[in-house]
Chain A
Amino acid sequence: MTPEDGRTVVAEAPASASRSKLKLIDCDVHHALRSSKDLLPYMASRWHGHLEDFGRRRPVPFTAASPYPKTAPALSRTDSWPRNGGPPGSDLAFMQEQLLDPYNIEYAMLHLLMSGMDERNQDLGNAICSAINDWQYEHWTQKDKRLKAAIVVPGEDPPAAVREIERWAGNPDFAQVSLVTHAIEPLGRRRYWPIYEAAAALGLPIGLHSSGNNGHAVTSAGWCSYYVEEQHNVALSQQNLAISLVCEGVFERFPALKAVVIEAGFVWVPSVAWRLDQHWARMRGEVPHLSKKPSEYFRQNIWYTSQPSDEPEKPEYLRQSLDWLGWDRLLFATDYPHWDMDNPEQALKFRMSEAEQRQVFAENARAVYGFA
């Protein structure tokens, strides 16, 4: 990259060789459209004129930007802009060079930070989701078999979402179902259950990466002032979402359903689960559909990705959280190319045996996603 400032003389540095011996499964990698026009070839011509004349209708005043400007352009590492142009994550060859090859990645779970689910015009939203999936298949998963896409579904129109899931059912390039997490209602509500029924029947986990806009502040405390707050509050919103799935009884109704909470950390799970267990013991009569303590759903139906890894003064604290949560719950993720990505060789700075490393960096994900 060219540093942005001043007059510079930069010698090309040799690419550093990988120190990773482990094969990794990276559970959060962001590919990107070079331009929203990339989707047009996969959309009926009816929508081409519509997008030009009317554009998108989302429940926020910003249709092409985030309510909070991020700390880095495109939310990304400044060294992740492809040499051949386009935004970070939009160039497969550069992603191979910067992530997949040097870190010895066996599979990378792709999450596009764009969906048709939060489009108010539902027919357009459905068309955008289908187009995203066609584009992912043709331009990504078919070009590098390490890449596994998520079926992006228009979750506010569950019958259409189920049709989209069934369109890709059995295709090994798609490993999970992706919903926006800032939905119209908390995702545990019954209106979304047909999606969970379809996903559970096919053995597809639902991948919940913070995304979308529903018009509400990201935090229940209102609109925060700073990105430093928002950066953490998105993790809190993921906690709310997990609580909703548990308390509404989603996992009672669909015991085989697997949910992966992505990019929200994992150290919070014990404290949330302890508290819910305590409430449940006193108010069980309100939610008699929960046959188990809430903590059991957190440890049986939900998995958690590692990034952004917490960095306590004593890294051993992370180990203690994991001992409670269960070592089978944590899925390693880089979040490439975003600015807060974790380097597999540096993140999670606590002692792990070789067997524990294999679990966290690959085998847990292999089990959840059913990879051979």
Chain B
Amino acid sequence: MARHIVAAAGEILPGGRKLVTIRGREIGIFNLGGEYFALLNRCPHQGAELCKGTLIGLATSREPGHFELTRRGEMLKCPWHGWEYDIRTGQSWCDPNDTKVRAYPVTVEHGETLVKGPFVAETFQVAVEQDYIVVEV
């Protein structure tokens, strides 16, 4: 496992995302209200580019006739068959025990610590005065 700097902290705004390629793997970095999460860009069901899917909420119901829409923007819906995944964990909503998209740890680090290494800056210069998003792959 190595740690990779994938973006400056302000680059991915809340509700936004960025697709990056790290060691041959496409990974989507998501910003949910200031927290960052990283998922493999591949749906475990049939291999679609999951991280290009729509961000949705979670529709639930305690009984027919009642429904609630919660966790707006925190679920990711696959562009193909519509499988829903929890961005925070990578777990499938309908099949949480057996279907999980690979999730990676993400942290925000200050540039001053990053320039000392042992980090891999993918595509850009790291400035000491900024915060950066770091993914462990």
A interface residues, Cβ below 8 angstroms from B: 1, 3-11, 13-14, 71-72, 77-79, 339-343, 345-347
Chain B nearest CB, measured from A98 CB (Å)? 11
Those of B26-59 within 8 Å (CB) of chain A: 26, 41, 45-49, 52-55
Query: Complex Cα distance A72/B17, Å?
Result: 22
Whether A78 contacts B16 by the Cβ 8 Å rule is no
Question: Can you spell out 29 A-B residue pairs with CB atoms less than 8 angstroms apart?
Answer: A1-B79, A3-B54, A5-B15, A5-B54, A5-B55, A6-B15, A6-B16, A6-B55, A8-B16, A9-B7, A9-B12, A9-B16, A9-B17, A10-B17, A10-B19, A11-B18, A13-B19, A14-B21, A71-B82, A77-B79, A78-B53, A78-B54, A78-B79, A79-B48, A79-B52, A340-B80, A340-B81, A343-B48, A346-B45
Query: In the assembled complex, which residues on chain A have CB atoms less than 8 Å from the CB atom of B26?
Result: 13
In the complex, the answer to whether A77 meets B16 with C-beta atoms within 8 Å is: no
Which residues on B sit within 8 Å (CB–CB) of A6? Answer: 13-16, 55, 73
A5-B15, A343-B47 known; A77+B80 contact, CB < 8 A: yes
Output the least CB separation between A1 and chain B (Å).
6
The answer to whether B126 has its CB under 8 Å from any CB of chain A is no
B18–A13 touching, CB < 8 Å: no
CB-CB under 8 A from B11, the residues of chain A are 9
- Nearest CB of A to B68, in Å: 18
Whether B20 sits at the interface, judged by CB under 8 Å, is yes
Describe A's contact surface by its main secondary structure. loop
Residue of B nearest to A79 (CB): B79
Bound Cα distance from A243 to B47, whole angstroms? 36
Residues of B within 8 A of A79 (CB): 48-49, 52, 79-80
Contact (Cβ within 8 A) A72 B48: no
A9 to B52, CA, bound (A): 11
Across the A-B interface, the 3 shortest Cβ-Cβ residue pairs: A6-B15, A78-B79, A346-B46
Docked complex Cα distance between A72 and B14 (Å)? 25
Count B interface residues, CB 8 Å. 28
- Which of chain A's residues have a CB closer than 8 A to the CB of B13? 6-7, 9
Find B17's partner among A8, A13, A342 (CB 8 Å cutoff). A8
Cα distance, A8 to B51, chains bound together (Å): 11
B interface SS class: loop
Q: How far is the CA of A265 from the CA of B122 in the complex (A)?
A: 46
Complex CA gap A5/B57 in Å reads 12
Given contacts A11-B19, A13-B19, contact A3 B82 (CB under 8 A): no
Complex: chain A residue closest to B24, CB-CB: A14
Interface pair B46/A13, CB less than 8 Å apart = no
Partner of B55, one of A3, A71, A77, A345: A3
Contacts of B41 in A (CB 8 A): 13
Q: A5-B15, A6-B15 are in contact. Are A11 and B52 (CB under 8 A)?
A: no
Give the distance to chain A from B71, nearest Cβ to Cβ, in Å.
Answer: 14
Contacts of A346 in B (CB 8 A): 45-47
Q: Would A7 and B46 count as touching, CB distance under 8 A?
A: no
With A13-B21, A13-B41, A339-B82 already in contact, the answer to whether A5 and B48 are too (CB < 8 A) is no
Contact status B48-A3, CB under 8 Å: no
A340 nearest CB neighbor, chain B only: B81
* Shortest distance between the CB of A95 and any CB in chain B (Å): 16
Of A6, A10, A72, most buried by chain B (CB within 10 Å of CB) is A6
Q: Across the two chains, which residue of chain B brings its CB closest to A311? A: B45
Distance A7 CA – B17 CA, assembled complex (angstroms): 8
Tell me, in angstroms, the Cα distance from A9 to B29 when the chains sit together. 10
Nearest CB on B from A161, distance (A): 35
Q: Decide if A345 touches B47 in the complex (CB within 8 Å).
A: yes
Give Cα A321–Cα B48 distance, bound, in whole angstroms. Answer: 28
A sample of 20 more A-B contacts (CB under 8 A), given A3-B54, A13-B26, A13-B41, is A3-B17, A4-B54, A5-B54, A5-B55, A6-B15, A6-B73, A8-B17, A9-B16, A9-B18, A10-B52, A71-B82, A77-B79, A79-B48, A79-B79, A339-B80, A342-B46, A343-B80, A346-B46, A346-B47, A347-B46
A340–B46 Cα distance when bound, in Å, is 10
Give chain B residues whose Cβ lies under 8 Å from the Cβ of A71: 82
- Check A11/B20 contact, CB under 8 A, given A6-B15, A78-B53, A79-B49: yes
Q: A343 to chain B: which residues have CB within 8 Å?
A: 46-48, 80
- CB proximity of A224 to chain B, nearest CB, Å: 15
Min Cβ gap A256→B in Å is 37
